[in-house]
C-alpha cells in the first residue's frame, strides 16, 4: 500500500483482531482519499499543518490549499476511525501511527 498503520487500543487486542483492524483502517483511508499512494503524503502534510498551526488549526489561518488538504485528511481519518471503532466511538479510545512502507 505504500504505508503501514499501527493502531493503539487502551485495552489491547488479540493479534489477529489487531491486524484485521489495522487493515480495515488502512483500507478506509485509501478509499476515502481515492488511492493508497495518497495516504502517506497527505498524512505527512496534515501532520506538518498540526505542527505549524496546532492540533485544531483555525480554518481562517490556513491557505486555500492547506484547508483543502486538512479537510480531506480529516474526512479520511473520520472514515477510518468509524470503520474500525464504529459510529459511537470516543476519540480517546485509541490512537494510530502511520509510517511509509519501507522498500524491500
Contact 22, 82 (CB under 8 A): no
pLDDT of residue 90: 54
pLDDT of residue 14: 75
**SS3 per residue for 10-32:** CCCCCHHHHHHHHHHHHHHHHHH
97 strand-pairing partners: 6
For residue 57, what is the enclosing H or E element?
none
pLDDT of residue 44: 96
| 50 closest CA partner among 33, 70, 65 | 70
pLDDT of residue 91: 46
- Each residue's pLDDT, cut to its tens digit, for the chain (104 residues) gives 689 999 887 666 677 888 898 999 999 999 999 999 999 999 999 999 999 999 889 989 999 999 999 999 999 999 999 998 886 555 456 789 999 987 56
pLDDT of residue 103: 59
- Cα 87 to Cα 39: distance, rounded to the nearest angstrom: 22
Instruction: Give the position of cell 484547508.
Output: 67
Amino acid at each position: 500500500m505504500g504505508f503501514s498503520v499501527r493502531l493503539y487500543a487502551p485495552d489491547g487486542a488479540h493479534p489477529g483482531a489487531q491486524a484485521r483492524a489495522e487493515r480495515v483502517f488502512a483500507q478506509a483511508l485509501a478509499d476515502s482519499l481515492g488511492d493508497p499512494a495518497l495516504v502517506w503524503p497527505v498524512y505527512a502534510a496534515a501532520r506538518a499543518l498540526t505542527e505549524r498551526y496546532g492540533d485544531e488549526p483555525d480554518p481562517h489561518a490556513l491557505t486555500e490549499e492547506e484547508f483543502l488538504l486538512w479537510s480531506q485528511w480529516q474526512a479520511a481519518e473520520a472514515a477510518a476511525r468509524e470503520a474500525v471503532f464504529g459510529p459511537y466511538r470516543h476519540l480517546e479510545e485509541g490512537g494510530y501511527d502511520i509510517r511509509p512502507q519501507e522498500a524491500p
